[in-house]
Amino acid sequence: MGYRSKTLGIFAFMIVFFILVGYLIGQFFMGDWILGSIMFLGIAGLFNAVAYFYSHKFILKAYRAKVVDENEAPRLYNIVKQVAFEADIKMPKVAVMPMSIPNAFATGRNEDNAVVAATEGLLSRLNDEELKGVIAHEVAHIKNRDMLVMSVAATLAGAIAFMARMAWFQLFFGRRRGNPILLVALILAPIGAIIIKMTISRKREYYADEQGARISKNPNALADALEKLHSENKRNPIRKGNPTTASLFIVNPFKTGGFVNLFSTHPPMEERVKRLREMAADFSYL
């Protein structure tokens, strides 16, 4: 399924989902399911429009990513420029996140507004070849047009997860307990995970690894980088942030286990590294 089909699928899912929520709330709280459905249909349309046009901006702001130029981050900027040239795509914007944990992601609707964001920790912990491999992975996502699907899915899943928390708060601390909003709360939380898992296939990460290795011409450097990132992020995960955005990062930056695993979209690191090592042993990838 192409990126346009998947994006439209997410939007269609959101519309149907919010109509269902509107029906339930309208039926049980407003006494008019038609009014509730129309109201939440409007909310779905608003969410979809905002997610399509502004999801990448929200994500950059959430992680305090600052767009930089060549003078501000010459090493990172020049590597992104080199990789973009080798991948035959437009030069994306470059951003730096003020985080000590090494990680990176790409976002944006298309090549015209694509952004490659790297943490300060990534720049300090990787050598040039390893950094080039990571950037090549992110550029592969841009080239494959994965960013729109990933950014929209993460934004909408985050909105649904927020609604779920509000519903649970109302259930346990509101005056009217035991009401039908429990039904809404029960289905909202896992829906965020379902959206991510339905749209962000693990195959995307494998393919971005493979294509990134071909672009950088150094599978071992990317494998080494992934091992470093996996170890660092596992030992010191992000404390603040939304797990629904985990799919954007090259390595899951959040603590694994429990509810967070519902949102896990990354393949096992051992398998990713194994595939890259096998590429390195096979010179035909060049």
Q: Which residues are catalytic?
A: 138
Task: Determine contact, residues 8/51, Cβ cutoff 8 Å.
Answer: no
Measured CA to CA, the distance from residue 122 to residue 131 in angstroms comes to: 8
Secondary structure (H, E, C), 170-231: HHHHCCCCCCCHHHHHHHHHHHHHHHHHHHCCHHHHHHHHHHHHHHHCCHHHHHHHHHHHHH
Residue 105 three-state SS: strand
Please state the φ and ψ torsions of residue 114, each to the nearest 5 degrees.
-70, 145
| Closest-CA residue to 107 (of 129, 127, 92, 87) | 92
Measured CA to CA, the distance from residue 229 to residue 134 in angstroms comes to: 10
One-letter amino acid at 196 equals I
One-letter amino acid at 125 equals R
| Closest-CA residue to 111 (of 86, 135, 131, 84) | 84
